[in-house]
Amino acid sequence: MAVNTLLIELGVEELPPGAIDTLSDALAAGIHRGLSDAEVPHGEVLAYATPRRLAVQVAALSDSQPDHEVEKRGPALAAAFKDGQPTKAAEGFARSCGVGVDQLIHLETDKGTWLGYRERQRGEATTTLLPGILQKAISALPVPKNMRWGASRVEFSRPVHWLVMLYGSDVVEAEALGLKTGRTTYGHRFHAPEAIDLTQADGYLAVMEQAWVLADRNQRRERIREQVLSEAEVQEAIAVIDESLLVEVSGLVEWPVALAGSFDERFLEVPAECLVSSMKANQKYFHLIDEEGRLKPLFITIANIDSIDPQRVIEGNEKVIRPRLADAAFFYDTDCKRPLDSRISELAGVVFQKQLGTLADKAHRSAAVAAFIAGRIEGNVAHARRAAELAKCDLVTEMVQEFPELQGIMGRYYAEQDGESPEVAQALEEQYLPRFASDAIPHSRTGLALALADRLDTLTGIFGIGARPTGTKDPFALRRAAIGVLNILIKGELNLDLRELLELAAAQHQELPYAENLVDEVLNYALDRIRAWAQDEGITAEAYLAVRARPVTRPLDFARRLRAVQAFSGREEAAALVAANKRVSNILAKQENDVGLQVDPYLLKEAVEQALHEAVSGHREQVMPLFAEGRYAEALDILATLREPVDAFFDKVMVMSDDPAIRANRLALLASLRALFLEVADIAQLQQ
């Protein structure tokens, strides 16, 4: 079989930058899936994309499916012949295979011998399969919003204008989205607008680059990064490259050219975050800072043209950004004319959730919980209550309504200006931490209390009205809220009882239609989220299940147990002790009555059971203080030394003695052994 390169390119009008990566990956995945399903051998599948094109290149694509052997099974041998002559069943089967009866074979199976036929079937040509594969791949694209154009009934994200499909140097004839395939593509809209006839599927990137198009999106992003860093160096500044902005800008250009501009220094009187948000959100500019991290009155824009007069392009961008920054300055000045706490009354007019009331209601509930938490973590109760009262006030400011991503940040600025306590001001920004699993947690005690209180209120409230998250829908981001609570408690080393906190948060709500079992439900939902955290920490699912089997309601305590069990599972003695715990668990589970922990030394007849009793008793004295202090790893290290007396006991002692008193005593000994390990986790689960 011969191999060659396949190139598919779909030419479109400018795609939404946020959809380019998704559509590009989906098209490549669809082509890859189609070729794999058809069993056509091929090499690497590469996805390319610009605002005006989606392309896929497949290396070393075979020109056909491989030949394969087809086996057909006919009637049973007993029914195929009678008196040595073929029956109608045999003749009919032979005709269906296009051969004579004498060319059929015998197939031996575990159910007997059958008449059969084998033939080698030639693989279908790849060029015959490609039209269907292309059509299916395009039909499956996750287009965010379809549109029609002209008189056509075809629908796509943007109007499509050309379709290329080359196998080597040959055009593969097909039709999709109302277009017939060809070899004609187009370069940069301004630098190379003429039609380009591709002669080969290979060398696509080089041909497009000659036409002022960087079709490889990763190459284009890195070109932008290099240019921004280089231009910043010329300006004696440091460029701040936001990766999400880099991706978005890359989706707006085919031939990036970085240009530096400036703005009036008077705008630097406005908080830097406001200016940066305006530059990023409105103009897609990269901002520059000095060595101390202070914003400089400079920006870098990415043009989609290599202008013969770049200064005019720069001046145009400077002219555009000026009113944007003026708007930001106006919003800031307007907001500063009122103290932040004057907006508390406005929160009563903003609905948090129809059944849970307004933001004012949420603030009132959160204040009680935050104050309680602050008291428990040696924070300032008054600060926590004040921070909760002000927490959502910046949501009704001009600046945050224009730039929602500045919530919390502006709260801090306005609180500082009003002369609020520095810790209260800091907490207003920290309330949204952590924003994602690996994000930092609040630094201040007031911030910790407020961040917890806000999330606990949301969790109990939304669960309480029955709006529980599902595997596919979580409109209130409850999963993120639960993970945030866990991260704060664990990373912040706050050994608080989550059940107690949830009970307090739930009690702040006036009426919840699903209040019954609410705390247990939210608690279990949160503790189930620890599994993902544990996985990120390199802790096995078995270790998680071992700890989860115990009634642990303090996430920090849960995490300490997890780390201890994970470390224990790697010890040489672990396997034997896990098996012993499993065995003990099974024995105790079969007893009709509960087995006590009280052992009568006088009923211990065998030396090995006496030795085990002494070991268990001695170890209990050592580990109980460690359990009380949460030093589980040290405790399990001590308990690991029980392996020898446990092994000796099971080797030489019959637990289920005929003597009821001795049997009960031995069961109590095993129960006391298991109880020691259960102080940490059900390590019997590790055997799974």
The predicted-structure confidence for 282-301, as pLDDT tens digits, reads as follows: 899 999 999 999 999 999 99
Q: Where do we find the tokens 């975050």? A: 273
Residue 432 and residue 529 in one domain: yes
Q: How confident is the model at residue 582 (pLDDT cuts 50, 70, 90)?
A: confident
Using the 3D structure, point to which of 501, 536, 571 is the last residue of a domain.
Answer: 536
State residue 45's pLDDT score. 97
Q: pLDDT grade, residue 669 (50/70/90)? A: confident
| In-domain check, residue 60 | yes
Mean pLDDT of 182-205: 96
Rg of the chain over CA atoms, in angstroms? 36
Strand order in the sheet with 257-262: 238-239, 286-289, 295-303, 257-262
- Average pLDDT, integer, range 415-442: 95
Give the mean pLDDT of the chain.
92
pLDDT (0 to 100) of residue 688: 55
Pair (164, 84) in one structural domain? no
Contacts 24+ apart (CB under 8 A), 290-297: 290/237, 290/238, 291/238, 295/268, 296/235, 296/237, 297/262, 297/263, 297/264, 297/265, 297/267, 297/268
Supply the pLDDT for residue 668: 86
pLDDT more than 90, % of the chain = 71
Query: Residue 606: which pLDDT band, with cuts at 50, 70 and 90?
Result: confident
Q: What is the pLDDT of residues 145-167, one digit of tens each?
A: 788 877 677 888 899 999 999 99
Confidence at residue 544, expressed as pLDDT on a 0 to 100 scale: 94
Look at residues 336, 359, 379 and tell me which one is the last residue of a structural domain: 336
Would 204 be classed as within a structural domain? yes
In a domain, 671, yes or no: yes
Q: What is the pLDDT of residue 506?
A: 97
Distance CA 1, CA 41 (A): 10
Q: Where are the beta strands (DSSP E) in 468-569?
A: none
pLDDT, position 312: 95
Q: What residues are paired with 195 via a beta bridge?
A: 186
Note whether 358 and 457 are same-domain residues. Answer: yes
Count the neighbouring beta carbons within 10 Å of the beta carbon of residue 450.
33
144, 11: one domain: yes
109 compared with 209, residue with greater pLDDT: 209
Contacts 24+ apart (CB under 8 A), 349-352: 350/392, 350/395, 350/396
Query: For 218-246, how does the pLDDT look when each residue is reduced to its tens digit (9 = 90+)?
Result: 999 999 999 999 999 999 999 999 999 99
- Could you give the maximum distance between any two Cα atoms of the chain, in Å? 110
CA dist 57 and 204 (Å) reads 9
280 pLDDT above the threshold of 70? yes
Once rounded to an integer, what is the mean pLDDT over residues 19-39? Answer: 95
Q: Is residue 548 part of a domain?
A: no
For residue 566, the one-letter residue type is Q
The candidate with the shortest Cα–Cα distance to 321, out of 290, 370, 284, is 284
Give the pLDDT of residue 1. 67
Q: Percent helix, strand, coil in the chain (nearest 5)?
A: 55, 15, 30
| Those residues with Cβ within 8 angstroms of residue 59's Cβ, 6 or more apart along the chain or in another chain | 5, 42, 43, 44, 45, 46
Starting at the earlier edge strand, list the strands of the sheet with 105-109: 68-76, 112-121, 105-109
Dihedral sign from CA coordinates of 29, 32, 34, 39: negative
Residue 490 CB burial class (10 angstroms; 0-12, 13-18, ≥19): buried
pLDDT at 593: 73
Question: What's the Cα-to-Cα distance from 238 to each of 242, 256, 269, 287, 340, rounded to whole Å?
Answer: 13, 20, 20, 9, 34
Q: How far does the chain reach from its first CA to its final CA, in angstroms?
A: 49
Can you list the alpha helix ranges (DSSP code H) found in 592-659? Answer: 607-628, 632-639, 643-652
Residue 598: both structure tokens together: 């009280």
Is 114 in the same domain as 156? no
Specify whether the CB–CB gap between 561 and 540 falls below 8 A.
no
How buried is 688 (Cβ within 10 angstroms: 0-12 exposed, 13-18 middle, 19+ buried)?
exposed
Domain carrying residue 578: 561-687
Look at residues 428, 435, 420 and name the one whose alpha carbon lies nearest to residue 449. Answer: 428
Using CA of residue 108, residue 110, residue 112, residue 114, what is the dihedral sign?
negative
Q: Could you tell me if 443 and 530 lie in one domain? A: yes
396 and 466 co-located in one domain: yes
* Cis before 434 (ω within 30): yes
Kindly state whether residue 275 falls inside one of the protein's structural domains.
Answer: yes
Assess whether pLDDT exceeds 70 at residue 275: yes
Picking from 169, 184, 210, the residue at the C-terminal end of a domain is 210
The residue with greater pLDDT, 278 or 108, is: 278
Same domain for 7 and 104, yes or no, is no
Q: Residue 189: which CATH number?
A: 3.30.70
What are the CA-CA distances from residue 610 to residues 549, 605, 613, 656 (Å)? 30, 7, 5, 16
User: Per-residue pLDDT for 369 more than 90?
Assistant: yes
Handedness of CA 467, 468, 472, 478 (dihedral sign): positive
- Do 323 and 255 sit in the same domain of this protein? yes
Q: Which residue has the higher pLDDT, 535 or 231?
A: 231
Q: Per-residue pLDDT for 5 more than 90?
A: yes
If you count them, how many residues does the chain have? 688
Q: Would you say residue 261 has pLDDT above 90?
A: yes
Distance CA 435, CA 480 (A): 8
pLDDT of residue 584: 80
pLDDT of residue 48: 98
- Whole-angstrom distance, CA of residue 116 vs CA of residue 102: 11
CB neighbourhood size of 272 (10 A): 16
In a domain, 549, yes or no: no
| Percent of the chain at pLDDT exceeding 70 | 99
If you average pLDDT over residues 113-134, what whole number do you get?
89
Average pLDDT over residues 597-604: 80
Best CA proximity match to 412, nearest among 363, 365, 446: 446
pTM given for the model: 0.80
What would the mean pLDDT of 363-373 be, rounded to a whole number?
97
Provide the CATH number for the domain around residue 519.
1.10.3210
Residues 225 and 261 in one domain: yes
Q: What is the DSSP letter of 125?
A: B
Both structure tokens of 307: 């202008």
Number of domains in the chain: 5
202 pLDDT band, cuts 50/70/90, is very high
Together in a domain, 594 and 466: no
- 80-84, 506-510, 543-547: least confident range: 80-84
What whole-number distance in Å separates Cα of residue 112 and Cα of residue 523? 60
What's the mean pLDDT in 645-657?
A: 82
Q: Is residue 566 one of the residues assigned to a domain? A: yes
- Looking at the predicted structure, is the pLDDT value of residue 457 above 90? yes
Lowest-pLDDT range of 1-15, 88-102, 386-400, 482-496 = 88-102
Same domain for 55 and 85, yes or no, is no
Q: Categorize the per-residue pLDDT at 432 as very low, low, confident or very high, splitting at 50, 70 and 90.
A: very high
Both tokens assigned to 455:
């999330």
> What does the CA dihedral 132, 134, 138, 140 come to, rounded to 10 degrees?
60
- For residue 551, tell me if it sits in a domain: no
pLDDT at residue 328 greater than cutoff 70: yes
